Structure 1
């Protein structure tokens, strides 16, 4: 508990934390308010369109916009130690490197989960009110829940991956570039290469961020055949949402283990 309290105070004391969270909240609110635009009078938005709104266009952008905005915060606690040499203060305060790192992981995961849930609730409330005020029907909210759960899982895991990547490469800029470029380009190129090799095509479905997108795409089952094919291309994986969630969670655990080993055994930060 002492480690969690210490890490939370460290994160909460940064003005950038509240600026980033405010920006994400504002964007969620705006996304909800924009829901009625383009709808026919008296119609309701589809479950998939609402799922993408709640997830901040995770599939279209290849990563949730909220995840990209959280990167400075997700990498911040490690980056501060790297640039300011403050790790020794943390270790002296908590008397254990493993405790310090686990506290960073738990606080980061909690912030990611709460950001996803809070933002989704804000978007849903603003969308519901705006739809009612403009005479539109409400969407099938229950059909968006599986995709919302996948989104919360992704956002819970995202700070853990970001922290561990920063520890492993020991450079914040390199970590951010890797976390942005790999899901956008690296996995696409790797997936295409794997599909060209006989017998390795199924491996492409299990690439971590493709699996993460599959976990968030449960509501895509409500799409027409043509729209589902296009969405599947954007996802880059044929896994079910449950299999995608399991694969992405396993990748996160692996990253956390490797990050813990690097943090506890390296001499100087």
Structure 2
């Protein structure tokens, strides 16, 4: 049986996990790289690749992505920041796709955030826009469309994506336009994942797992790998790691046709 493997990992810009002081845990990009490499995946989807800087500055070339490229030399890859914005908070930003086979037709889709006001460190602000990136590659002789995204965490703003559905609607529209084998991976930042799964189902997409928590800070399933009917998920695993506040999610696929 011929299969290929996808790794979904929010790497939290290389910051590991410290149960006693999670926000003060050291940044060790080499630990991140070791975690990525141990899964021996054919496709790697990463979120929060870089640490957001004050005033929304975006360093080029992106330092963590550059280090990953230097190490993962047998992969083709590309990286994209979200739209630059001085309101950016000091968390993780940036999406990357790594593939053992060449990537082509690379694109970035902006996902605007609604003007929901919230307070951060004593000041009122609104959330910055998010993004989804896509590319095509050939796996086991078949063309596959890849998407990677990191959506806004509405639960952190004391509201919900049900009240502000536009980001997910845009993602669903991209999925609905895909006819061939397609994979969507990412951190969807949804506390109630059943609604997310139900929304993607009419576009023909299923998630590989919906029972095991993927985030250490709260018992939420934030990370998903969605796939459509030309693909079959053979096996999957939520893999605990101390290299991030997210666990790694790994899935092996075969073609169903």
Could you tell me the TM-score, scaled by structure 1's length?
0.30
Higher helix residue share: 1
Higher strand residue share: 2
